Amino acid sequence: MTSSRSVTGLVTDVITFSAVDGPGNRFVIFLQGCSFDCVACHNPYTITECIDCGECIASCPSGALGQDLTGAMVWDAEICAGGDECIAACPYDSTPKARPLAVAHVMERLRPAAPFLSGITVSGGEATLQPDFLRALFTTVRAEFPRLTCFVDSNGDADRATWERLGPVMDSAMIDLKCLDDRIHRRMTGVTNARVLESIAFLAARDQLFEVRLLLVPGVNDSDELLDATGRWLAQIDPRMRVKVIGFRGHGVRPSTLLLREPNAEQRAHYADVLRAVADFDLVVI
Ligand code: SF4
Ligand code: SF4
């Protein structure tokens, strides 16, 4: 039987301490691969798995990239200077730095930080695309550090069977709702929002929904009418839901045919007013 500690995930990055990926101070694991292709994605290099084409090798100023005899990409972390030249050079929304990491390896990183943490969060890319890794990691963390909470940061595109598998080992999830209007959602992500809406309702009913995040882009998905409808849809699930409104920021985002602008302070305050008029949400605006 495979031990939970030997299960591997394709990991883009690990951050030991984060104050912005769930409640308290959290250890965050970013997984490679996503089911969406968002125009407003800040980490587009997490969307696809590396295809070992080798096109980024020449971009590395440190000579940290190459291929092995099978043609697989090799990244030497010891001599990597930590720049993003390879990510910028990749035409496939990937990174040569993503690596299969075993749960045991993640635990080695987690152990020294654990006394200072509130919990761990698995993000992405899309975390739920690697449910075996999530289950194994959360099971191991809970056994060794029962005090730490296990959260998933998700685009909400997982089906019910995936949430049912994760439910017994996961404390809670943070779900992005890019847009209630499916036509706009498809334009923003390339994918329908049907499963996102199902995920929000399903997790809330199980008391495993920590917050819903609304990424608002002026002129794209921030009309008063749409925001009011979104608030009403969320309120019929839970009128006291924690809702985090995130004003779009352009940093790291790819060029797009969609006009992407950042909301100003006045617009952000207005988003909060519209939602507060609908229900007594636990509202955070950033
Ligand atoms: S769901 Fe997240 S990681 Fe995936 S493409 Fe959208 S913003 Fe990027
Ligand atoms: S990271 Fe991108 S450019 Fe580099 S080998 Fe992988 S797919 Fe090719």
Nearest listed ligand to the Cα of residue 34: 1
Contacts with 143 (C-beta within 8 Å, 6 or more apart), sequence order: none
Asked whether the predicted pLDDT for residue 45 surpasses 80, the reply is yes
Residue 225: the pLDDT is 98
In this structure, what are the phi and psi dihedrals at residue 178, rounded to the nearest 5 degrees? Answer: -70, -35
User: Which residue, judged by its Cα, is nearest atom 8 of ligand 1?
Assistant: 41
Q: Is the residue at 271 inside a domain?
A: yes
Residue 258: the pLDDT is 85
Residue 257: the pLDDT is 84
Residues 231 and 117 in one domain: yes
Q: Beta-carbon neighbour count of residue 59 at 10 Å?
A: 16
User: pLDDT tens for residues 155-177?
Assistant: 999 999 999 999 999 999 999 99
- d(CA 47, ligand 1 centre) in Å: 7
Query: Phi/psi zone of residue 285: left (φ > 0), alpha (ψ -120 to 50 degrees), beta?
Result: beta
Tokens of 122: 């698995």
DSSP SS3 for 272: helix
Q: How confident is the model at residue 2 (pLDDT cuts 50, 70, 90)?
A: low
Residues 163 and 77 in one domain: no
User: pLDDT tens for residues 71-100?
Assistant: 999 999 999 999 999 999 999 999 999 999
Residues 79 and 159 in one domain: no
Residues 157 and 265 in one domain: yes
Residue type, 109: R
Q: How far apart are the C-alpha atoms of 225 and 180, rounded to whole Å?
A: 11
Q: Beta-carbon neighbour count of residue 160 at 10 Å?
A: 12
Q: Is the residue at 162 inside a domain?
A: yes
User: pLDDT tens for residues 212-265?
Assistant: 999 999 999 999 999 999 999 999 999 999 999 999 999 989 988 888 999 999
Nearest by Cα to 255 from 33, 44, 35: 44
Nearest atom in ligand 2 to the alpha carbon of residue 54 is: 5
Residues 35 and 150 in one domain: yes
Nearest atom in ligand 1 to the alpha carbon of residue 176 is: 1
Residues 76 and 177 in one domain: no
Q: Which of 31, 65, 89 is the last residue of a domain?
A: 89
Average pLDDT of the chain is: 97
Residue type, 139: T
Q: Is the residue at 51 inside a domain?
A: no
Pocket of ligand 2 (CB under 6 A): 50-56, 73, 90, 92, 94-96
Domain extent at residue 65? 57-89
Residues 171 and 109 in one domain: yes
- How large is the average pLDDT for residues 203-209? 98
- Give the lowest-confidence range in 183-192, 230-239, 256-265, 266-275: 256-265
Q: Where are the alpha helices (DSSP H) in 84-221?
A: 85-89, 103-113, 131-144, 160-166, 182-189, 194-205
User: What is Dmax (Cα atoms) for the chain?
Assistant: 62
Q: How far apart are the C-alpha atoms of 15 and 6, rounded to whole Å?
A: 21
Is the Cβ atom of 47 under 6 angstroms away from ligand 1? Answer: yes
Kindly state the DSSP code that residue 116 receives in the 8-state scheme. G
Asked whether the predicted pLDDT for residue 12 surpasses 90, the reply is yes
Q: Is the residue at 80 inside a domain?
A: yes
Residues 70 and 198 in one domain: no
Question: What's the CATH number where 105 sits?
Answer: 3.20.20.70
Tokens of 15: 């951050």
Nearest listed ligand to the Cα of residue 191: 1
User: Which residue, judged by its Cα, is nearest atom 6 of ligand 1?
Assistant: 38
- d(CA 49, ligand 2 centre) in Å: 9
Cis bond leading into 124, ω under 30°? no
Residues 140 and 247 in one domain: yes
Q: Is the residue at 52 inside a domain?
A: no
Residue 1: the pLDDT is 54
Helix (H) or strand (E) holding 82: none
Residues 75 and 172 in one domain: no
Tokens of 148: 């730490």
Residues 76 and 168 in one domain: no
Q: Is the residue at 108 inside a domain?
A: yes
- d(CA 50, ligand 2 centre) in Å: 5
Q: What percent of the chain lies above the pLDDT cut of 90? A: 97
Burial 10-38 (b: 16+ CB within 10 A, else e): bbbbeeeebeebbbeebbbbbbbbbbbeb
Domain count, the chain: 2
Residue 214's alpha-carbon distances to 140, 176, 239, 245, in angstroms, are 32, 6, 16, 5
- d(CA 218, ligand 2 centre) in Å: 33
Residues 68 and 193 in one domain: no
Query: Phi/psi zone of residue 281: left (φ > 0), alpha (ψ -120 to 50 degrees), beta?
Result: beta
- d(CA 1, ligand 1 centre) in Å: 34
